[in-house]
């Protein structure tokens, strides 16, 4: 069901439709649902600080996007998430497509309306979940065929179907359906998946019924093979998509292979479009990959580890359930401005985590989200203030004590973009 | 050092003079709390407790309830989500069962439980047990009472109990008591008598220890009325406890199925008739709206708020109306809304699977399929965070997908709804509309 294209209409009261970043073949201006403005660039590394304008507001990058899988950020309310400064978060197409389903969400005015989140949303295609969660999924040229774990029905998730669901969800950024293979896989399957992903990208672009309100991102595949990656980059960058994700990493591959694929990818991606590195969320990885030129990140780690009582701090993490915190009357992090650290001690959280009151989990979740957002903010400020390399050096020192303890891959990755750690 | 205590509820019946132990008089004098009774309507007391808290600057209206907590925190709620709720009571209930095992930590912390849990502004009442988690019976002796924490059973002698309270520093504390008069299969007069004797003995020992501690003197004792279902024992407990320098009274052992409703209310009325007017009466284990009203009529002032928590845990939203003066238009809408719900429910019953049954008639179970595409608020007209921002459909989705946010949102609504109910009781008493409120509540109590 195609909606009439009216460049000046404001269909979503809260949305900001930015005007003209692209022109159609007829020379008329089509509204762009995304504009990226590079605010500052590191003179040494590939790091940049940008402003990303999306239908539900501006997002400062580099940005970490918390993952709210089923239309909720676990025990954190939309108001709390907003107060923490979050301006974009994730929803999962696979989960929401299963429950409660796209028709219901559309009735609820999209995912924004359903979860009452007024800021930006990014949805993935559902492809990754399918491959990782389902024992019996089968990939064909058509799409991914699988059995619903809820009622056993056979379902085909095609590029068209994935985009259709994401159109119903109404996310500001949606991801193409890609042919996902494990990063440890080698051989012809990887190449097949890369080529198929390109074909699926084209099908997704065609299927997008709301390009003026929803931005479809391509996902660069190619596994750990530089030649395949380059081929994929060459082809996908020919397509007029508003942004690119670097996919197929953050699986079981070695960090050494990982960073090389990241930097290879950013080298070939256009400057004026955002680069989204999927599935990355550990602090060190974030810092390094910003240096390598990435703008956007997502990961379940911070929120998931919170629910196990693990609080993120500049020196790593605190396992708050452990005895050593029983009489520790300091906040999780003295420098943290989050509501948990403003009011509570490690000792109290220790006690609460040993009870069955879920409030304990929420306290740590709030803190971990705040930690991630504060980290990205600090990174960004250092880029804007032209002292990103110094920031990196301090970060590594705090996290690892001394340079010698910093993992080799990180040292080499930073070295490759002109940041030395001695 | 004699003290005059009124016999019965009204001063007309005269006074009885008793002799206090030396230290006790001092303790009595230390009470800064003041109870002002503004009206008594059909047995229901309406008033204010003032000069509460360590600084003596807090106050609380009654009839009212206390904020229910589990291990020192409102269930599911952080400070941010708690403070968005309207009508949060000034006094918070802590349970010794959830905190006793941590007393060494609190001893080292030194600054008391309020600050430790991040609620420095609240006033605290520490009860022995958690109304939601009954503990195994049979562990009360002449020398000790046990509570059950995460780490298992914690046995407390009077000395241990007072040491723990010294570390916690609550404003009010339920004195050590024997609440097991009705725990055995057959209620016995002997067991009832023992519960009263033991509880009085515990009280006297605790008071003695309290005199010896500066810190403990600011934690005032709530005397516990025991006696099972034996009237004489209940009266004896009330009269004897009233002689001691306690700041208020807890009517224990009236919850559950141990006695019939008639017996319960009769005993409660008899007990409160023996208690001084100027001290608050608390009851534990009573939370259902109709039972709350009955107890208020029987002379009870303060209740716990575990009932909204229980509703939350069963995936239910409190929806009972306490609007005894509704807009005639709203009434029609309300009726229609209910009808629709019933129709949908029946229709779906025919097609699909098990229908979830709400625990009480005061709530709706959001897991029911009929709410899957109901985009209205939990309760029309409710101004809580959940009703202003979310729909029944969303909460249904959260419950079906087992998401943590379900508990958060339901707790926010259920607490606000329940606190609103107590506000309505006070208003009804103020405006002489108690009969209408009673009729409305009892009508919903099927």
DSSP class of B1: -
pLDDT digits (tens, 9 = 90+) for A163-194: 999 999 999 999 999 998 888 888 899 999 99
Residue A48 has pLDDT above 70, yes or no: yes
Mean of pLDDT over chain B: 88
pTM of the model: 0.91
Instruction: Look at the block and give the residue holding tokens 């005269």.
Output: B14
pLDDT digits (tens, 9 = 90+) for A213-271: 999 999 999 999 999 999 999 999 999 999 999 999 988 899 999 999 999 999 999 99
Residues of B in contact with A358 (CB under 8 A): 75-76, 404, 407-408
Query: What is the distance between the alpha carbons of residues A332 and A310, in angstroms, rounded to a whole number?
Result: 10
Residue B7 has pLDDT above 60, yes or no: no
pLDDT digits (tens, 9 = 90+) for B174-206: 999 999 988 876 668 999 999 999 999 999 999
Q: Are strands A310-313 and B172-174 parallel, antiparallel or unpaired?
A: unpaired
Report the run of H or E that residue A234 belongs to, with start and end: helix A226-236
Q: Are B73 and A359 inside 8 Å of each other by CB?
A: yes
How close is the nearest chain B Cα to the Cα of A216, in Å? 27
> What's the whole-number mean pLDDT along residues B36-56?
95
Query: What is the distance between the alpha carbons of residues A389 and A372, in angstroms, rounded to a whole number?
Result: 19
Q: Is A124 tagged catalytic?
A: yes
Annotated catalytic residue, options A82, A124, A178, A212: A124
Q: Are A339 and B79 inside 8 Å of each other by CB?
A: yes
Residues of B in contact with A366 (CB under 8 A): 78, 80
Query: What is the distance between the alpha carbons of residues B438 and B432, in angstroms, rounded to a whole number?
Result: 12
Bridge partners of A76, per DSSP, are A73
How close is the nearest chain B Cα to the Cα of A53, in Å? 26
Nearest to B76 among A71, A79, A358 (CB): A358
Annotated catalytic residue, options A178, A212, A285, A298: A298
Query: What is the distance between the alpha carbons of residues B124 and A130, in angstroms, rounded to a whole number?
Result: 51
Do the Cβ atoms of A67 and A90 come closer than 8 Å?
yes
> What's the whole-number mean pLDDT along residues A283-309?
97
pLDDT digits (tens, 9 = 90+) for B240-262: 999 999 999 999 999 988 899 99
Q: What pLDDT does B329 receive?
A: 66
Do the Cβ atoms of B46 and B62 come closer than 8 Å?
yes
Q: How many CB atoms are closer than 10 A to CB B342?
A: 11
Q: Determine phi and psi for B283, rounding to 5 degrees.
A: -135, 145
Beta strands in A124-192 (DSSP E): 137-139, 144-147, 154-157, 173-175
């Amino acid at each position: 069901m195609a909606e009439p294209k009216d460049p000046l209409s404001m269909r979503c009261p809260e949305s900001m439709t930015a005007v003209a970043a692209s022109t159609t073949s007829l020379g008329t201006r089509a509204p762009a649902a995304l504009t990226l403005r590079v605010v500052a660039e590191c003179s040494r590394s590939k790091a940049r600080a940008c402003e990303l304008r999306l239908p539900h507001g501006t997002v400062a990058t580099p940005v970490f996007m918390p993952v709210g899988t089923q239309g909720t950020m676990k025990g954190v309310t939309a108001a709390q998430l907003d107060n923490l400064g979050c301006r974009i978060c994730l929803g999962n197409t696979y989960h929401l497509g299963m429950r409660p389903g796209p028709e219901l969400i559309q009735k609820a005015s999209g995912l924004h309306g359903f979860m009452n989140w007024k800021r930006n949303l990014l949805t993935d295609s559902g492809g990754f979940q399918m491959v990782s969660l389902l024992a019996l999924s089968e990939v064909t040229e058509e799409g991914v065929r699988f059995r619903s774990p809820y009622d056993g029905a056979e379902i085909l998730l095609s590029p068209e179907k994935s985009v259709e669901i994401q159109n119903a969800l109404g996310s500001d950024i949606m991801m193409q359906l890609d042919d996902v293979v494990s990063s440890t896989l080698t051989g012809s399957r990887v190449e097949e998946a890369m080529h198929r992903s390109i074909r699926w990208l084209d099908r997704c672009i065609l299927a997008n019924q709301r390009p003026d309100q929803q931005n479809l991102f391509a996902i660069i595949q190619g596994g750990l093979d530089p030649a395949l990656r380059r081929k994929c980059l060459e082809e996908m960058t020919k397509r007029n998509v508003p942004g690119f994700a670097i996919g197929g990493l953050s699986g079981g591959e070695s960090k050494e292979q990982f960073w090389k694929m990241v930097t290879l990818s950013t080298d070939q991606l256009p400057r004026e479009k955002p680069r989204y590195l999927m599935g990355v969320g550990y602090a060190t990885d974030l810092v390094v990959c910003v240096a390598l030129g990435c703008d956007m990140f997502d990961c379940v780690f911070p929120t998931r580890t919170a629910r196990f009582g693990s609080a993120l701090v500049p020196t790593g993490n605190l396992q708050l359930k452990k005895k050593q915190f029983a009489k520790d009357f300091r906040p999780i992090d003295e420098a943290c401005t989050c509501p948990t650290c403003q009011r509570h001690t490690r000792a109290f959280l220790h006690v609460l985590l040993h009870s069955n009151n879920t409030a304990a989990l929420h306290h740590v979740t709030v803190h971990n989200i705040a930690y991630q957002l504060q980290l990205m903010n600090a990174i960004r400020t250092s880029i804007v203030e032209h002292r990103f390399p110094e920031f990196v050096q301090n970060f590594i020192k705090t996290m690892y004590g001394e340079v010698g303890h910093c993992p080799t891959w990180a040292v080499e990755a930073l070295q490759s973009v002109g940041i030395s750690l001695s | 050092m004699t003290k005059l205590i009124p016999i019965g509820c009204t001063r007309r019946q005269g006074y009885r003079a008793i002799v206090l132990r030396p230290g006790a008089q001092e303790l009595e004098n230390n009470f800064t709390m003041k109870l002002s009774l503004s009206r008594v309507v059909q047995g229901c007391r309406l008033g204010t407790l003032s000069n509460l808290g360590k600084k003596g600057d807090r106050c609380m209206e009654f009839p009212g309830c206390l904020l229910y907590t589990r291990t020192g925190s409102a269930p599911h709620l952080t400070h941010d989500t708690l403070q968005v709720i309207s009508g949060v009571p000034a006094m918070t209930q802590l349970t010794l069962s959830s905190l006793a095992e941590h007393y060494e930590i609190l001893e080292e912390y030194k600054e008391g439980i309020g600050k430790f849990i991040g609620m420095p502004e609240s006033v605290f009442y520490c009860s022995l047990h958690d109304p939601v988690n009954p503990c195994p019976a049979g562990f009360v002796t002449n020398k000790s009472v046990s509570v059950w924490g995460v780490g298992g059973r914690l046995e407390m002698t009077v000395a241990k109990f007072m040491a723990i309270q010294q570390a916690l520093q609550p404003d009010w504390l339920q004195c050590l008591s024997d609440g097991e008069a009705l725990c055995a299969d057959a209620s016995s007069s002997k067991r009832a008598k023992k519960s009263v004797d033991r509880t009085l003995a515990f009280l006297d020992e605790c008071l003695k220890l309290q005199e010896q501690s500066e810190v403990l003197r600011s934690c005032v004792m709530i005397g516990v009325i025991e006696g099972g279902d034996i009237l004489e024992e209940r009266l004896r407990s009330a009269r004897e406890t009233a002689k001691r320098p306690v700041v208020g009274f807890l009517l224990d052992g009236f919850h559950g199925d141990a006695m019939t409703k008639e017996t319960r209310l009769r005993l409660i009325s008899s007990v409160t008739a023996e208690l001084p007017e100027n001290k608050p009466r608390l009851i534990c284990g009573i939370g259902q709206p109709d039972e709350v009203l009955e107890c208020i009529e029987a002379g009870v002032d303060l209740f716990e708020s575990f009932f909204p928590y229980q509703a939350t845990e069963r995936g239910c939203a409190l929806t009972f109306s306490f609007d005894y003066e509704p807009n005639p238009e709203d009434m029609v809408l309300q009726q229609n809304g209910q009808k629709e719900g019933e129709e949908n429910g029946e229709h779906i019953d025919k097609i699909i699977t098990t229908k979830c049954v709400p625990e009480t008639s005061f709530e709706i179970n959001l897991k029911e399929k009929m709410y899957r595409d109901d985009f209205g608020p939990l309760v029309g007209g409710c101004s809580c965070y959940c009703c202003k921002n979310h729909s029944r459909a969303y909460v249904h989705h959260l419950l079906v997908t087992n998401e943590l946010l379900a508990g958060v949102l339901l707790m926010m609504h259920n607490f606000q709804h329940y606190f609103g109910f107590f506000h309505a009781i006070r208003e009804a008493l103020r405006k002489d509309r108690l009969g209408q409120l009673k009729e409305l509540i009892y009508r919903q109590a099927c």
